[in-house]
A = this chain, B = another copy of it.
């Protein structure tokens, strides 16, 4: 028995599906780069070889490579080939002590957390349930963008009980981290209680914030943090650029 699993064999791209061939090919090459398939040479195979491999015209491959060059992943050099510029995928551990900045701190030189927006609002039924509040109680919502080495990694919306964490927006803007903002407001430690992970296509807003192209994938983590007594302190929905991260769960 054999024939399934692993090996290519099947046609790798499909026509008439609403997704252009050049985009399907770009997605496959991006994936191959991030898994280290071309590490030996540091280059993508020649256009003619890729065209043969995917069963398309060389021009179609060129469209795919142009898109990847636009993303800054490869750089074509006439006469030599197409060089790989960037291939990282940040690992993001999800544990009881999950922290964004510390979690990937050693995998990137510069971590930043930008506050895009802050608002005080009434808790919806869902937010209230997660934070252990009554619907309509005041919560503070923060819209944040997290970057690693100037490259956007995730876009998060977080809610906090307004009474307990007044001023968390300013604290976040100053420290660029939830952990530091909590510490500033008198909460030295907290733990991750639950995390729900899904995946979806990027919306237009996420494309803009995370510098993605249509068809791009998001890993979505809905998380609830509590203080050490088990009282909810934060509920957040984080949208990660899926080709830049992986989650690790250690049990």
Residues on A lying within 8 angstroms of B by beta carbon are: 1-6, 9-14, 17-20, 22-24, 26-28, 31, 63, 67, 89, 94-96, 98, 116-119, 141, 143, 157, 191-201, 203-205, 207-208, 213-215, 217-219, 242-243, 245-251
Contacts and interface: CB of A to CB of B under 8 A. Distances in A.
Contact of A199 (B12, B63, B217): B217
A183 to B, nearest CB: 20
Given A17-B215, A143-B5, A31 B118 contact: no
Contact of A20 (B18, B26, B192): B18
Contacts of A27: 201
Q: Which of A63, A98, A246 has the most CB of B within 10 A?
A: A246
Nearest to A3: B117
Contacts of A63: 18
Contact of A5 (B141, B192, B199, B242): B141
User: Main secondary structure on chain A at its contact with chain B?
Assistant: mixed
B193 A251 contact: yes
Contacts of A218: 199
Given A194-B250, A194-B251, A197-B197, A204 B17 contact: no
A19 B215 contact: yes
Contacts of A245: 198
Nearest to A240: B199
Given A1-B118, A219-B198, A246-B197, A19 B11 contact: no
A201 B214 contact: no
Given A14-B214, A20-B20, 20 more contacts: A3-B117, A5-B119, A5-B143, A6-B157, A10-B205, A13-B204, A13-B214, A14-B204, A17-B213, A18-B215, A94-B249, A192-B251, A194-B251, A195-B251, A196-B249, A198-B247, A199-B219, A201-B215, A215-B215, A217-B217
A67 B249 contact: no
Nearest to A207: B14
A248 B196 contact: yes
A127 to B, nearest CB: 11
Contacts of A141: 5
Contact of A4 (B117, B199, B200): B117
